[in-house]
Structure 1
């Protein structure tokens, strides 16, 4: 598939084919012509006969060069927006016409991300795996082991990308509770332990079953973790092209759009909570904001010293901008302010100067405040 991707990229560079552009707020964006995963391929094309013909020639060239044959009986053209003469477009490739919503790699494509119907397949598999007859030869411990294995496998794929609706979460938890406590006749029995207690971590003396809501937040938080690390990844470039990124590249700007952005918008909502639970190793200081990031101590400097933050000359500066070389070959902080300090601000100035030493700043040295 690498050869197929190179062939498509070459045709796109020469201007024979065009994909679609993920437009950002200021008109910038990333062009997407194809997506490949194993033998699953997505090709993006405009509603233009010439474009379709060129795409068809690319496919034919790949078949000739590789000796592989693309199964057009399993392929389909999916229409997005208003497309005229869809049958004509399908005839160029010789495949059928499909519609949204559909699925790609087992995930819903084109369906509302917060729709409960998206989770119907997960719910059905839960019921099938935790069927009543399976309790016949299982003790309470055996039932619990089965429940734990189901949670570790079935919903992870969906919960790693979508926020699980409350209605769906309650249904899945009910299926688990009934499998654990009810008998073969499905008679209602007293639950000996509250479900919330069962989900408490083993380190606290409980059973440690994963709570779906917390598990979902942890899986979505992995995308927030990967965003500042995978700088060259294609998915990150698409997200940045759409929403932009904050200084330092830790995350995107806040998502305010209401259409077509729900997936990343839900993930981005967890940024503040995620960021409070992380720490920053300074390095060269080019990605860490002096006032806005938590890099010395356990809180943002703008919250610890609000008066100084308001009068700072560069309150959006990164750490390296405020570190200067001083006499004797050493270094120190050079923080500038727009005006002289008032008498009631001197106490905060003294606390500010001693804060770096008391908290063990990554960079030592003296501080010099200039008005």
Structure 2
């Protein structure tokens, strides 16, 4: 006996009967004898291999219904038989169970119950379903702007669930793509027009000259790209061999083993020997002794997580978890490199095409301009004229009315009405903005008995310099102490955030503060700390935060906007913008921010 889609009381009842010896386990295989699978209306499936077991099963299901009041609907239930079961045995078992429907002909959760024979024929329902949906849309006489929205939001989503379960045959995918292409280019379902641009090129991203339709073949391959998207994350390093395992993340070739620098080396050397146990970071001296400089830089880009075992993470999502969207992006990128490498060549019209989608006009005009640049209209080449018109807006000569109306050259009668509508929309938007300014966020104090340490930073990507600051205030808004610190050689924004936050946490714990609220622009770090299982890519950062915060009995982490963190932000900006690189810790607040802190306190 076996169960699928289990977890409810029906399964529990049958399982209990099995344990008590009321029902005997089935032999392996369902093809011979009286083997059968009972599929219940709620999706549960139970396999039996004898008439006696069928009788027992009928009694159990009847008893379950009487005991719980949840009677089985036999009219909606079905039995799936093995292909060797005779018609006589089928009829006898159906009479015993009281279930006369046979399986494999209906769907469950939108998928066929059984995949026997040709998968192309089994999945033909996807083609029929998509075609029926498109036939309905043809009747609406939509512009291509409307068609774009429907194809992206609805038609492309129809096969998503089947593709998440298994890989569709290429024939099915080609049929679906062909139907969507026909809908895009044709105005009637029974009329065939020329497809001026191939569908696979229309599925390219807008920055590469396409429209951004979903590439079903790439999406179908998304779940098969684990090997290319996985990254080996070093924990304590005990399970990773330095010279034999692929653990170095190379941006050119992906995961690989480290390059050998010296003539002699220990072939059994483990990565754990390269970690400084005191600092929980890489031992740079040890790295420089045995690795080439390029590998030293790659390895030291991410620190080990000594409290965990070595493990895999997904490198195409910031949180380290694989998602269908990120896998689809990887599949599409691989497909572009393989099949459409010409779109990456220079010089190219793609930058002009990309600018089209940012023009403040209705979708049908943007699509028309894209068709012109893609040679998708029979009138011929208009590249130079379109480029001139797009640059016209930046020229000093000419009136604003002339500059703004050029996309409407074929719809001139509608131009004035459309721009009038935009002016009304701007007035409404301006009024909403005024209301937002009135309700502008401001610094909010902690509750009585708690302190607040506002933390801020500013990073200069050109000079790799970082300015950090924190300000401690009580529930009345009084600044008790503050600090400023300059950092150098900070190569990334993520590193800047981590350095600033760890410095602030270490400062608070060394000053023996407790019951502290930490507001700042550290959304991802705070989320990773609160839900570490959802952010495996930030395990090292979370572990460093946890070590420092473990010294506090009570604390809170709070993501705030810059308006709620102005005092600390101004102090941090003084390092990068005013070259005030002297670091210090001081009581009270800066004299040049006296008015700011006083006003925030008075507004409480």
- TM-score by length of structure 2 reads 0.39
In structure 2, distance between residues paired with 1:136 and 1:328: 68
Match of 2:74 among 61, 72, 75: 72
User: After superposition, where does 1:275-354 map in structure 2 within 5 Å?
Assistant: 275-283=227-235, 291-294=244-247, 296-297=249-250, 299-302=254-257, 312=267, 323=272, 350-351=290-291
SS at match of 2:75: helix
Alignment of 1:14-93 (within 5 A): 14-17=20-23, 40-83=42-85, 85-93=89-97
| Structure 1 residue aligned with 2:14 | 8
Unaligned 5+ runs, structure 1:
24-32, 222-269, 315-320, 334-348, 366-371
Q: Identify the residue that residue 346 of structure 1 maps to in structure 2.
A: none
- Unpaired runs of at least 5, structure 2: 1-6, 30-36, 283-288, 307-604
Which has the higher mean CA deviation after the structures are superposed, 293-302 or 121-130? 293-302
Residues 135-150 of structure 1 mapped to structure 2, 5 A cutoff: 137-150=141-154
| SS of residue paired to 2:112 | strand
> Residue 8 and residue 171 in structure 1: after superposition, are their counterparts in 2 closer, same or farther (change >3 A)?
same
Contact 1:324 1:332 in 2 (8 A): no
Contact 1:133/1:184 (CA < 8 Å) preserved in 2? no
SS at match of 1:96: coil
Deviation at 1:155, TM superposition (A): 1.0
Cα distance per residue 1:125-150 (max 9 Å; x no partner): 11111117725531111122222233
Deviates more, 1:55-64 or 1:324-333: 324-333
Once the two structures are TM-superposed, the CA of residue 103 in structure 1 deviates from its matched residue by: 3.3
1:118 maps to which of 118, 122, 131: 122
Q: Contact conserved, 1:126 with 1:172, CA < 8 A, in 2?
A: yes
Q: Measured at CA, do residues 120 and 185 of structure 1 come closer, stay the same or move farther in structure 2, by a change above 3 Å?
A: closer
CA distance in 1: counterparts of 2:129 and 2:28, whole angstroms: 35
How far, CA to CA, are the matches of 2:174 and 2:138 in structure 1? 22
TM-score computed with the length of structure 1 as normaliser: 0.61
Correspondence for 1:199 among 200, 203, 209: 203
Answer whether contact 2:127 2:176 (CA < 8 A) is retained. Answer: yes
Deviation of the 1:44 alpha carbon: 2.1
| Alignment correspondent of 1:98 | 102
Distance of 2:28 and 2:155 partners within structure 1: 35
Is the 8 Å Cα contact of residues 11 and 17 (structure 1) preserved in structure 2?
Answer: yes
SS at match of 1:359: helix
Measured after TM superposition, the shift of residue 274 of structure 1 is: 2.0
The CA RMSD over aligned residues, in Å, is 4.4
Alignment partner of 1:359 is 2:299: yes
State how far apart, in whole Å, the 2-side matches of 1:43 and 1:167 are: 31
2:138–2:187 Cα contact (<8 Å) kept: no
- Match in the other structure for 1:210: 214
- Asked if the contact 1:151–1:210 (Cα under 8 Å) also holds between the matched residues in 2, the reply is no
1:246-261 matches, cutoff 5 A: none
Distance in 2 between residues matched to 1:122 and 1:140, nearest whole Å? 24
